[in-house]
Amino acid sequence: MSSQLASPESLGAIRDAVGKALLRLGEEDKDVVVLTADVARSTRTRWFAERFPERFVNIGISEQDMIGFAAGLALGGKKPYAAAFAMFMMRAWEQIRNTVDRMNLNVKLIATHSGFSDHGDGASHQSLEDIALMRVLHNMTVVIPADPPQAYKAILAIHRVRGPVYLRIGRDYSPPVTDPSAEYRLGELELLRDGEDVALVSAGPVLAHVVEAAKMLEAKGLSVAVANLHTVKPIDEARLVRLAQRTGLVVVVEEHFPRGGLFGAVAETLAQRYPVPVVPVAAKGYGHSARSVMDLYERHGLVADSIAKRVVEAVEKWRKR
């Protein structure tokens, strides 16, 4: 299996793109070591194990030990990538906080199956708190690619970061939304559509639904900007402020609880730099077992028509003031 990016179609789903990007890193940097917590097949790190067995470690179902092992590798000069389901990566939050982040170690955390993407396994496997838990850490960079091409490029970009990074992806659902030929700029807010009446800010797979909602709203006469907040921390304060200045109203859409995640990051920034109304569209509560991720998106109002309805309500409310 080639690790080179031949075309967007060659990447497959978003976890496939991450697995292929790790293969490329393994070929280019002999210090890259990949670890997993007994989910090599599901996280696509199995491909790295097959190609570089001497640089792959399956710790077993013990995320805390995986983080400790990764920290030791980083202290020894290696460049570890630790992969696990996002929900169960949170088991190791204490180790991530006290060892990796507090010591500012060069450990990359790849959290897969985030949000509602593990629809079949129910609420116990669906992480809706992880952005908040990672964003609060002092040295941690938090990255949420929108689709497979951006995920592939994001892996290559975070490899150049010295320090801890949390990269959050889903399972398979990852509709194309970014320009595959565009350069990926870590830390830079990406404007997908410009507009003047309201700004929609999102990240991850739901960003595609946000773009569709913007098209619906423009058909109704609203000028809608859409921004991809793929780097949640450090947040691009300057571009976010300019967006708020131009529109005067920001709606944040995220596959996460409406506390501490994207909404928290955007609201905190604008409260200090340029206060405008910031409205959350987020998970309404825990998920449940479902036939598809779309069933959960619809239940929680994260599909295009539901998002558009919430935006209209926000515009009507704030235009009256």
Q: What is the mean pLDDT of residues 167-183?
A: 96
Residue 8: predicted pLDDT: 67
Q: Domain map of the chain by residue range?
A: 8-168, 190-319
Tens digits of residue pLDDT in 270-289:
999 999 999 999 999 999 99
| 53: Cβ contacts below 8 Å, ≥ 6 apart | none
Report phi then psi at 78, rounded to 5.
-85, 170
Q: What is the mean pLDDT of residues 77-85?
A: 98
Strand pairing report for 165-168 and 198-202: unpaired
d(CA 319, CA 64): 49
- Note whether 8-168 and 190-319 share their fold: yes
Tens digits of residue pLDDT in 122-161:
999 999 999 999 999 999 999 999 999 999 999 999 999 9
Whole-structure pTM value = 0.96
Q: What is the mean pLDDT of residues 205-226?
A: 97
For residue 203, what are the CA distances in angstroms to 14, 25, 235, 287? 14, 24, 13, 19
- Residues shown for the chain: 321
Tens digits of residue pLDDT in 86-130:
999 999 999 999 999 999 999 999 999 999 999 999 999 999 999
Tens digits of residue pLDDT in 216-270:
999 999 999 999 999 999 999 999 999 999 999 999 999 999 999 999 999 999 9
Please say if the pLDDT value at position 5 is more than 80. Answer: no
| 292: Cβ contacts below 8 Å, ≥ 6 apart | 119
* CATH code for the structural domain at 190-319: 3.40.50.920
pLDDT band at 321 (very low <50, low <70, confident <90, very high): low
Average pLDDT, the chain: 96
Per the CB < 8 A criterion, the answer to whether 154 and 230 are in contact is yes
On whether the 8-168 domain is CATH 3.40.50.970, my answer is: yes
DSSP string, 48-76: HHHH-GGGEEE--S-HHHHHHHHHHHHHT
| 29: three-class secondary structure by DSSP | coil
d(CA 75, CA 25): 19
CA 159 to chain centre: 16
pLDDT band at 77 (very low <50, low <70, confident <90, very high): very high
Residue 319: predicted pLDDT: 80
Please say if the pLDDT value at position 7 is more than 90. Answer: no
